[in-house]
Amino acid sequence: MPVRHPCPGVHPTDRSGAWAGAVVTEAGSGAGERPLRVALLSYRSKPHCGGQGVYLRHLSRELVDLGHSVEILSGQPYPELDRDEIVLTKIPSLDLYRDEDPFRTPAREEFRDWVDVLEFAHMRTGGFPEPLTFSIRVLRELKRRRRDFDVAHDNQVLGLANLGIARLGLPLVTSIHHPISVDRRIELDAAQDWKAKLGKRRWYGFVAMQAQVARRIGTVLTVSESSKVDIVRDFKVDPRDIEILPLGVDTSVFHPRGPLSGRVPGRIVAMASADAPIKGVDVLLRAVAKVATERDVHVVVVSRPTKDGPTERLVRELALGDRVRFVSGISDDELGELLASAEVAVVPSRYEGFSLPAVEHMASGTPLVASRAGALPEVVGDAGILVEPGDVEELAAVLRRLHDSPEERARWSEAGLARVRERFAWRAVAQATVGHYREAVTQRDYLRKAARK
């Protein structure tokens, strides 16, 4: 059973013969056109956190259901996949950031070549090497198997060696969910002293490489107008090279589970990395602490905070006690039940390039309160209540109001469900993505861009 993990990314065969006579006929996928052999590239594919693994899982399923051949080339953590037809080719790193042993020192026998040495050296000097080192490793694999694929799709790797994919003559489409330069700014603002700021600058050193690659990589897909603006501003990508393609939601998991009147009284729910300043969990906890002095409310956060980290310390400072609960390691079905059990959902982020949790909350029929930050106004529209990011008092006031008004909660529940039905479907995402694949195969503009000095 798929498991929801907390947030702190099969041996390959040549399957071209299996598709030689097949014809894709699904609406929107190019009726009568031959199916594509797609290589999906992802340096880490954590199944239920961070967006990249969730995107990979659902997109790959829908592409296969449309009749295409899909192979995922991924580093650790590896993705969960929904179809037996999807091939997973493991491109292993040293796995230096595994949950149970982050920043570990590998045994000598784990080092296979100079790329492993480079990866370890970057980590030991405070950097994050995975986008670069994965791009080198996956380029080796693609060189060896160039004839196995019609198109490659980079899931926000943007490593320097990705430029070599174009030189193989392999069409490339790239997804940038949002530029990590935004995370860097927020983390730097939250750093308490010069040493912390220096460490953050070193950790996010890979962002300059990603910006360089993004300008030369070809077609870029992003999930919102807000993310497009940020990519143009921070990465200096030509806006004409960026296409907006929102994400979808799995309504087999996220849907109402009975009448609103049957929900757990006073329950507030959030899905967010507990210790990441960008996710605003601190704001939510402070708001709940204020409301809890007057009303019987509690919050469930789908995440696992670092032991004695900033979130655990804040919980103690606010004396929240049993008013807050963190859950992790739950299945998809259990997560769906949890979201549909709450009276109110909150996305308190200081920035989001899209926010799948916001859509999943709305699909569950749970009234949504979200920050007026990044793409959240674009995603939520008029189907939820927007508050200023970081404004504890405003968030607390909205939570009080919703707690006291089942009629208002019912209105927001219906508005969220209607918006999901109208706008967010994974099948439509996959069909549109295939259109961009075919354009890349036909036009091959990426070759010209990769050759730019």
pLDDT in tens, 149-202: 999 999 999 999 999 998 999 999 999 999 999 999 999 998 989 999 999 999
Q: How many Å apart are CA 381 and CA 421, to the nearest integer?
A: 14
| Alpha-carbon distances of 54 from 110, 164, 256, 449, rounded to whole Å | 29, 27, 21, 29
**Domains parsed from the chain with CATH numbers:** 3-248+426-450 (3.40.50.2000), 260-423 (3.40.50.2000)
Asked whether the predicted pLDDT for residue 9 surpasses 80, the reply is: no
- Chain-centroid distance, C-alpha 213: 20
Residue 310, pLDDT score: 93
Give the pLDDT band of residue 99 (cuts 50, 70, 90): confident
Mean pLDDT for the stretch of residues 220-233: 96
Report, as an integer, the average pLDDT of 107-117: 97
Query: Stretch 305-323: mean pLDDT, rounded?
Result: 94
Please give the DSSP secondary-structure letter assigned to residue 24: B
For residue 218, the model assigns a pLDDT of 84
**pLDDT for res 7:** 46
Place of tokens 């939820």: 384
Integer Cα distance of 173 and 42 in angstroms:
13
Asked whether residue 315 carries a pLDDT value surpassing 50, the answer given is: yes
Question: Can you tell me the distance from the alpha carbon of 185 to that of 172, in angstroms, rounded to the nearest whole number?
Answer: 29
CA 190 – CA 27 distance, rounded (Å): 48
pLDDT in tens, 54-74: 899 999 999 999 999 999 999
- Is the pLDDT at 110 greater than 80, yes or no? yes
**CA distances from residue 217 to 60, 211, 220, 226 in whole angstroms, order as listed:** 22, 10, 8, 21
State the average pLDDT over residues 392-401.
98
Q: Which amino acid makes up residue 14?
A: D
In angstroms, the CA 356 to CA 271 distance is 10
Residues 85, 38: Cα–Cα separation, whole Å: 13
Q: Average per-residue pLDDT in the chain?
A: 90
Average pLDDT over residues 375-399: 98
In whole angstroms, what is the distance from residue 186 CA to residue 350 CA? 8
Task: Give me the pLDDT at residue 33, please.
Answer: 86
Task: Identify the three-state secondary structure at position 39.
Answer: strand
Q: What is the pLDDT of residue 17?
A: 31
State phi, psi for 41 to the nearest 5 degrees.
-110, 130
Dist. CA 349–CA 351, nearest whole Å? 5
Q: Tell me what pLDDT residue 32 has.
A: 64
Query: What proportion of the chain, given as a percentage, has pLDDT over 90?
Result: 81
CA trace torsion 204, 210, 215, 221 (10° rounding): -110
pLDDT tier, 3 (very low <50, low <70, confident <90, very high otherwise)? very low
Which region, left, alpha or beta, applies to residue 169 given φ > 0 means left and ψ of -120 to 50 means alpha? left
- What whole-number percentage of the chain has pLDDT above 70? 90
